[in-house]
Amino acid sequence: MLALLSFLCVLSATSEALLPSASSLQDVADEQDSIYPPMPAGFPAARKIEGASAKLEGAMTPYAEEIPGSEVHFQMTPLKAGSFLMGSPAEEEDREDNEGPQVEVSLDPFWIGTHEVTWDEYQLFQFKLDIQSRTGGEVVATPQDSWADAVSRPTPPYVPMDFEMGVEGFPAICMTQFAARQYTKWLSYKTGRFYRLPTEAEWEYACRAGTTTAYSFGDDTDELDDHAWHFDNADDQYQKIGLKKPNPWGLYDMHGNVAEWVLDAFTKDGYAFLGDEAVHAPLNKPIELYPRTVRGGSWDDDPEVLRSAARRKSKKGWKVQDPQLPKSIWYHTNATFVGFRLVRPLKQPTAEEMSYYWEADRDSIREIQERQRQGGR
């Protein structure tokens, strides 16, 4: 049960919290499951929209998808299959050790969000606005709704998570990686197309856009203001999406504005675990709640943090302002600089493969449950 698994994940990162008994965990699961209807079997049929039904790489085109039950839409940009050197070269200025060693990575074709996910999109999920509109008779139900309605959603936030920086047209922030993954799961059922977070390799491939320089526009930080929101030009807050120049592949805000969740765990020794040979589509799946990886730098960062290869790790301190015990599984109240964008692979995966990308905490849950069985914390 997803609520149970997520609850356990939080406990693994909260040393002050005792793991509850198996019976009390079941009570939590039963209570949460009673809120959501059972998930139907299978996967819903895709809604037909122009440009989104390519079967071959050569047929991929940009497309815009309107989220059913709303007038909100998002744009996806196709990227061809290819190879690149992931990580930064040893001579790159401001390089960190965790950005190497460089490794050749090949990837299959995929679409990626042209922009970061906005509050306009995310709040439909966060506040169940789609359900409210449907039950109020404002919109007509779709065949996909029964799947989407069964996905667990965030609890009400205890403070406005935009922190008065703006909502309409601004990137969504402060969600945990778990919450971002749940959004992609909800959106997938809502549209009948598989969406997920990018892997770290996919993110860097998209950010570099065929370049090998520190930034997708070159090495000269004097040009940064034209391409990115960062500490020196953002007026102490995030900005609306798409106001700066895109990278060579037409993607906006890959450098700056908000940093972006990827699926991978953060490794302080960089990519050494990948070895010396070229690799295909790597994913360093997390087995612990912390640290996980965000990429791209933010409005609150200096230029070196916005480099294409720069990496940042999640921390327990991102929940310091959270008054709840245990801490929320949905919100990183202190991470006002973290958001995310979507990826959709050309080849729709099997249901098992979808679950692998959405439910990235299974291994850490098993570890926590084993510690509980042994009487540990």
In the chain, where the domains are located: 2-373
* pLDDT for res 193: 97
Question: SS in 3 state form for 325-372?
Answer: CCCCCCECCCCCCEECCCEEECCCCCHHHHHHHHCCCHHHHHHHHHHH
The SS3 of residue 76 is strand
What tokens does 119 get?
Answer: 């509050």
For the ranges 146-150, 324-328, 357-361, 363-367, the one whose mean pLDDT is highest: 146-150
Q: What Å distances lie between residue 349 and 65, 107, 242, 314, CA to CA?
A: 20, 15, 30, 28
Instruction: Residues 2-373: name the CATH superfamily.
Output: paralog of FGE (formylglycine-generating enzyme) (3.90.1580.10)
336 pLDDT higher than 60: yes
Give the model confidence (pLDDT) of 151-204 as tens digits: 999 999 999 999 999 999 999 999 999 999 999 999 999 999 999 999 999 999
Average pLDDT of the chain is: 88
Distance spanning both ends of the chain, measured CA to CA: 21
What is the DSSP annotation of 280-326?
A: ES-----SSSS-EEEES--TTS-GGGGSTT-EEE--GGGGTT---SS
Instruction: Give the global pTM.
Output: 0.88
More confident residue, 25 or 81: 81
CB 101 within 8 A of CB 332: no
Give the model's confidence band at 35: pLDDT under 50 very low, under 70 low, under 90 confident, else very high: low
Give the model's confidence band at 36: pLDDT under 50 very low, under 70 low, under 90 confident, else very high: confident
CA separation for the pair 175, 258 (Å, rounded):
12
21 pLDDT higher than 50: no
Give the model confidence (pLDDT) of 211-249 as tens digits: 999 999 999 999 999 999 999 999 999 999 999 999 999
* pLDDT for res 360: 55
CA separation for the pair 372, 13 (Å, rounded):
14
18 pLDDT higher than 90: no
Q: Which amino acid is at 257?
A: N
* pLDDT for res 5: 37
* pLDDT for res 23: 32
Neighbours of 190 (CB within 10 A): 26
Percent of all residues in the chain with a pLDDT value above 70, rounded to a whole number: 86
CB 42 within 8 A of CB 60: no
Q: What Å distances lie between residue 369 and 67, 286, 364, 375, CA to CA?
A: 37, 16, 9, 10
Give the model confidence (pLDDT) of 77-111 as tens digits: 999 999 999 999 999 999 999 999 999 999 999 99
* pLDDT for res 282: 96
- Using alpha carbons, select from 330, 335, 305 the residue that is nearest to residue 320: 335
Give the model confidence (pLDDT) of 106-125 as tens digits: 999 999 999 999 999 999 99
The SS3 of residue 27 is helix
